[in-house]
Chains A and B, each alone.
Chain A
């Protein structure tokens, strides 16, 4: 594990960096950090350089550029400026990498989360309304407000909501 000399007294390792990066949120789902989403893949320190690997959820995800900028500025706040950010595509991102705490945060934010069980069985659908928890729901469109979501409606409380698709 690499160690980066921080000022005179501190030494930083990869875990510190990962900790700092927990402040970087997905700009389209600002309750989730990039590590809770599984976008942050790797942090490495070699010499005085930090390299960060990220992977997109979808190929055309427009949030990636913002995420890059946010990583840079978050690290810069801690005086870390020699940063290289690399995009990796393999292994391809999957909703399985999303942490359970991450999914819970999604629900509280009003987005239905994909369930492991459903995704595994090829059943890509929401289970219940994240607002009133009713299971009486319907899909309105396979595509929602962003590439990673589909649009649903709750037949009980009448609210529309997004569902984070299996991927």
Chain B
């Protein structure tokens, strides 16, 4: 896979893996309306993932006419070390606090990213971003409200938010670390280096945290040296997620809806 295809697959992987995690709440949400909300967010994300996978697949087929890769091959037939998603999105759901905080972190990042990618030199990346940014903004509003409601809620909900912030803090630095495909995307103006999003990301997060009476997040957080989801080196959680998500396609190869 060439670097720009990998860049596109990285966007798809983020959306698919978080979409899948959110879909694990379907039927288990704390109340019916929020069960529907998180399932709808899952649907948006999986839709975005499909658009990016289809783009990557057609690009790969064009570059290598002997191949016939489809979106399903990319989603269901790659192993964990081939997935390029951020480690943040593969983290387990935990409680509702952890789920909404993970969503808040990611939606803020994704919204800022799409805001840049609508100007991508690659017309299809620009089109998918233009389509998706409205959805991300909605996810961002929804998750911000939840962070405030729980942070500035009861003693218990505040405590749960603190715990979630603690658990997720290790995966924040990776959002802004560039790898080979980011440099390629930036050089061709198809994409950007994620570090340009960092200042505004922290500013937005801390503004909501202030309202939510949560302690300010330090922008000096360091990545864990051993792990890099964008390079295919994941936490232990991705493997179990893929085992379930890919089961049907592995057991019954080539099956279609």
Q: Which residues of A contact B (CB under 8 A)?
A: 56, 58-62, 65, 88-93, 140-147, 151, 165, 167
Contacts and interface: CB of A to CB of B under 8 A. Distances in A.
B135 to A, nearest CB: 6
Task: Indicate the member of B19, B33, B124, B130 with the most A CB atoms within 10 Å.
Answer: B33
A90 B47 CA distance: 15
Q: Is the interface of B mostly helix, strand, loop or mixed?
A: helix
B33 A141 contact: yes
Interface residues of B, number: 29
B46 A143 contact: no
Task: Indicate the member of A59, A88, A140, A147 with the most B CB atoms within 10 Å.
Answer: A59
B51 interface: yes
B36 interface: yes
B132 interface: yes
Interface string B27-52: 00000011011001101111110110
B128 A89 contact: yes
B131 A92 contact: yes
Interface in B118-136: 123-124, 126-128, 130-132, 134-135
B47 A61 contact: yes
A147 B44 contact: yes
Contacts, number: 69
A142 B128 contact: no
B247 interface: no
Interface in B33-77: 33-34, 36-37, 40-41, 43-48, 50-51
Contact of B43 (A62, A88, A91, A151): A62
Nearest to A140: B33
B36 A56 contact: no
Contacts of A89: 51, 124, 127-128, 130-131
A90 B130 contact: yes
B141 interface: yes
Interface string B216-257: 000000000000000000000000000000000000000001
A61 B50 CA distance: 11
B183 interface: no
B202 interface: no
Nearest to B141: A142
12 contacts: A58-B43, A59-B44, A59-B135, A60-B44, A60-B45, A61-B47, A65-B257, A88-B127, A89-B127, A141-B33, A142-B138, A147-B44
A143 B33 contact: yes
Given A59-B47, A60-B44, A90-B126, A142 B131 contact: no
Contacts of B25: none
- 10 smallest CB-CB distances across A and B, nearest first, come from A60-B47, A59-B47, A90-B127, A141-B33, A60-B43, A143-B37, A89-B127, A92-B131, A143-B40, A89-B131
A61 B44 CA distance: 8
A110 to B, nearest CB: 18
B96 interface: no
